[in-house]
Amino acid sequence: MTMGIESGHEECGTRCWRALPAVESDDGVPAVESDGRVPAVESDDGVPAAESDGRAPAVEPGDGARFRILFVCTGNICRSPLAERMTRAALGPCPAVQVISAGTQAEPGLEMAEGARRVLARLGGDPAGFGSRPLTPELVAAADLVLTATCEHRARAVDLHLAAAGRVFTIAEFGALAEAVPPAGVPGHPDPALRARALVGQARALRGLVRVARPDIADPYGGSWLAYRAAGRRITRSLAVPLRLLRHPPAS
């Protein structure tokens, strides 16, 4: 089977991949969905099975989420938790959408960096209960949308689970693509999960057609308060349109 590959972004220096077509296993069950998702593996009682190394599933059973967003940075203590908690605050109570974050070099269980916590508080988010987690293939496979701080993080996420390539973007890239989506591209449906899936499909179709001048968000770790504030502002601006489309159905 041949997989289509799009031309690379000049700004990133990395390639972007289109979603893989559906692939069936020997028993006729899709091994990879047409949108790049991996089907859930269930145990006999209908609950997602634990991983082979004994860890809990990436998505807790019974969470009710029908659309899962994963933010990714390096240590999972600055940029990705900022984006995660800002998104949660913006969406409010929304059982249909689950938002988490992880880091490509993260140590488990660390709190957010002090500068990130201060910026988050000013933006109306809450850092309470946060603990960093490493990025794993299971987390990428379970996500319906993966948003990364940089092109390097995007490439790492795709390396971990190639079938997710069509739904992995940098935060800034996804924001620019969302701004270019035509009004009719996202249905005026009350279900935010349905709108989110439509938005990802539209963004995937526009990839390579919209120039993203600054696809990376710089790491503020170890920097001044201004560095953290700059990261927070870029994340806020990049997510403004996607979050508006998730919060409110577009006007018909």
Rounded distance, CA 68 to CA 146, Å? Answer: 9
Confidence label for 224 from pLDDT (cuts 50, 70 and 90): very high
Q: What is the mean pLDDT of residues 74-78?
A: 98
Per-residue pLDDT at 188: 85
Per-residue pLDDT at 30: 35
Rounded distance, CA 235 to CA 172, Å? Answer: 7
Per-residue pLDDT at 187: 86
Per-residue pLDDT at 18: 32
- pLDDT tens-digit map of 179-196: 999 988 898 888 999 999
Domain that holds residue 134: 67-247
Do residues 67 and 98 lie in contact, with contact meaning Cβ atoms separated by under 8 Å?
yes
Q: Which amino acid is at 36?
A: G
pTM (2 decimals)? 0.76
Per-residue pLDDT at 205: 96
Q: Does some domain include residue 19?
A: no
Do residues 200 and 69 lie in contact, with contact meaning Cβ atoms separated by under 8 Å?
no
Q: Does some domain include residue 145?
A: yes
Rounded distance, CA 235 to CA 81, Å? Answer: 11
Q: Does some domain include residue 11?
A: no
Per-residue pLDDT at 183: 83
Per-residue pLDDT at 65: 63
Confidence label for 248 from pLDDT (cuts 50, 70 and 90): confident
Comparing CA positions, the residue from 170, 206, 210 lying closest to residue 186 is: 206
Q: What is the mean pLDDT of residues 212-220?
A: 96
Total domains in the chain come to 1
Comparing CA positions, the residue from 250, 252, 238 lying closest to residue 90 is: 238
Rounded distance, CA 69 to CA 245, Å? Answer: 14
Q: Does some domain include residue 54?
A: no
Q: Which residues make Cβ contacts (< 8 Å) with residue 96, sequence separation at least 6?
A: 64, 65, 66, 67, 191, 192, 193
Share of the chain above pLDDT 90, in %: 68
Q: Does some domain include residue 71?
A: yes
Per-residue pLDDT at 32: 36
Comparing CA positions, the residue from 98, 130, 102 lying closest to residue 117 is: 130
Confidence label for 252 from pLDDT (cuts 50, 70 and 90): low
Of residues 68 and 11, more confidently modeled? 68
Q: What is the mean pLDDT of the chain?
A: 80
Q: Is the pLDDT of residue 95 over 70?
A: yes
Of 31-45, 113-127, 174-188, 195-209, the one with minimum mean pLDDT is: 31-45
Q: Does some domain include residue 141?
A: yes
Phi, psi (degrees; rounded to nearest 5) at 227: -65, -40
96 token code pair: 């249909």
Phi, psi (degrees; rounded to nearest 5) at 179: -65, -25
Q: Does some domain include residue 53?
A: no
For position 100, which CATH number holds?
Answer: 3.40.50.2300
Q: What is the mean pLDDT of residues 5-19?
A: 38
Q: Does some domain include residue 30?
A: no
Q: What is the mean pLDDT of residues 190-215?
A: 94
